[in-house]
Chain A
């Protein structure tokens, strides 16, 4: 079982890879809309990638209103 820190790091690494940013350029507290310059649709695409990676289903309501990686990682962690 991953720790929350490990999950958070994997979320950051995957997001950086998906949006072609240098590894380590994202931080847990970053607002992904702002940092990645993405819209709500691109966020949904990122969520699908994360679901595949972690092997979970993340219902839309779980990520409603979430805009930072830390909270997103917590929501993922609760479903692992």
Chain B
């Protein structure tokens, strides 16, 4: 691994990695059963430099912003490196957002360059939101068909200059990426992450989960997410490891990829991990009684032998068939994006497959705590990573309070939002909005949320304010969306739901017609953003002098209601 303490920027570290590991394979890309691409670090450089030079020719320079809006693939990483080499700031965007939301974030980020793939551009180019984002001057589109109408874009494959680009150095304190943690509604939250944030996070994470040449990481989580950017790009690249991309993310192709590419690490969201658990459990349940008995005994032996620490060699021999189904080389599953239920973590650990669960948020520079497996604990999110100072603010008698962080991995702030930044970073401490406590062994246990938001099992952060626009002009006196767990706190971080709180006009009834209207509006939202129920309130909402809803006061009033009876299903 490179000694990252010597480096000033992501671009500088990657530049040296491409030379140091030039003959190692850095990328493999498959589409269904077909392998599309296999690149060494040298070949990666040969693809990226002409792109970087063409960007420089087009006026792209230190601090210029370029957005990538693509599914996980080689060209994502090649483009990102070309941007960093030219001294640019990367704005990775979520390809699962709607075109209108994507244009909104493109405008907010002030990116001048957009790199995207043809199917996404086909929708983006005809979206009404395009008109407002005049800052986007250059659009590069990959894999466009020969006769395609590019609607003002240029072909990524032809945007190149054979001359060597000039490496543009950046300082550790310069902004490397603007990562949107949420806020596609009224107030986008663009986390300004510095080069130092990434360099420090990489050192901390690889101390516990190391990469080296020969390690193969299966990149499934979208690379625009902080987790995959770190463990599916920057981390493996600075260690000479290989990243495997799949262009079709169907369960059958993902499962095939493990043995085919001898995967070492993979990151998953809790939903996928749970689904994997269900699939495995169903297969175990189908075993004949005799075989089942032997299997259970082997799992029991494995549990006893791995009680204090994982012993991969022993687990792979004891539970050979299970490990072979995963390719026989899997060292750990990294799970992130949302809270994972302890029983799921325990299920995999008992099979000899450690799940690296932890806790983090984009604002913190990905992970704050990680389970160090010494020993494995399913009931916590692990201990703080090296370099992370974590404390509990205003703890109650049982030690529960808001989790706060101070570290070199913390974002510089939210783009164009000094007030929001000042509310989030107070006296040098990042207030996470999550509630938790430390146990006697120094492990962090999360107990709920202080902030009005939910995180889905697919790892999506949803802020109620961001989806309220869809209910505008609803024929009621007033309405407001809340995270149910914000109103009625429960000591759990799974199964979180949004509710629509309605105050009807005098004499108005909650009719079927109104319910149909709400459902129709709800259906315009992406499925994971939808509200799950309605709460009727007969009082006027508390408001400020400027008529903004006092959400906290309203939540306190709602908390007096019985949640079971108050939430009407839609």
Contacts and interface: CB of A to CB of B under 8 A. Distances in A.
Tell me the interface secondary structure of chain A in the complex: helix
Interface string A24-64: 00000001011000011100110110000000010111101
A41 B523 contact: no
A77 interface: no
Contacts of B247: 59-60
Given A34-B523, A64-B95, A67-B527, A59 B251 contact: no
A6 B526 CA distance: 27
Given A60-B71, A61-B71, A31 B523 contact: yes
A59 B248 contact: yes
Interface in B211-258: 247-252
A41 B95 contact: no
A58 B220 CA distance: 19
A40 B248 contact: no
Interface in B59-81: 71
Interface string B249-269: 111100000000000000000
Contacts of B523: 31, 34, 67
Contacts of A48: 250-252
Interface string B524-545: 0011101000000000000000
B196 interface: no
A57 B530 CA distance: 30
B187 interface: no
Contacts of A57: 32
Given A44-B251, A60-B247, A61-B120, A39 B526 contact: no
B126 to A, nearest CB: 14
B207 interface: no
A65 interface: yes
B119 to A, nearest CB: 4
A20 to B, nearest CB: 16
Given A34-B523, A65-B526, A67-B527, A44 B32 contact: no
Contacts, number: 48
B271 interface: yes
B281 interface: no
Contacts of B251: 41, 44-45, 48
Contacts of A60: 71, 247-249
Contacts of A39: 271, 457-458
Contacts of A61: 71, 117, 119-120
B263 to A, nearest CB: 19
B271 A41 contact: yes
A53 to B, nearest CB: 15
Tell me the interface secondary structure of chain B in the complex: loop
A12 to B, nearest CB: 18
B275 interface: yes
B249 A44 contact: yes
A65 B117 contact: no
Contacts of A59: 119, 247-248
Contacts of A62: 119
A64 B271 contact: no
Nearest to A40: B458
A41 B252 CA distance: 11
Contact of B272 (A33, A41, A65, A67): A41
A69 to B, nearest CB: 13
Contacts of A47: 250
Residue picked from A41, A45, A47, most chain B C-beta under 10 Å = A41
Contacts of A45: 250-251
Contact of A64 (B96, B250, B275): B96
B112 interface: no
Contacts of A31: 523, 527
B98 A65 contact: yes
Nearest to B70: A61
A23 to B, nearest CB: 24
Contact of B527 (A34, A41, A44, A64): A34
A40 B456 CA distance: 12
B248 A41 contact: no
Nearest to A58: B248
B250 A40 contact: no
A19 B527 CA distance: 19
A46 B117 CA distance: 25
B376 to A, nearest CB: 26
B172 to A, nearest CB: 37
B142 to A, nearest CB: 12
Contacts of B271: 39-41
5 contacts: A31-B527, A41-B251, A41-B271, A57-B32, A65-B96
Interface of B: 32, 71, 95-96, 98, 117, 119-120, 247-252, 271-272, 275, 457-458, 523, 526-528, 530
Given A40-B528, A41-B275, 16 more contacts: A33-B527, A34-B527, A40-B527, A41-B272, A44-B251, A45-B250, A47-B250, A48-B250, A57-B32, A59-B248, A60-B71, A60-B248, A60-B249, A61-B71, A65-B98, A67-B526
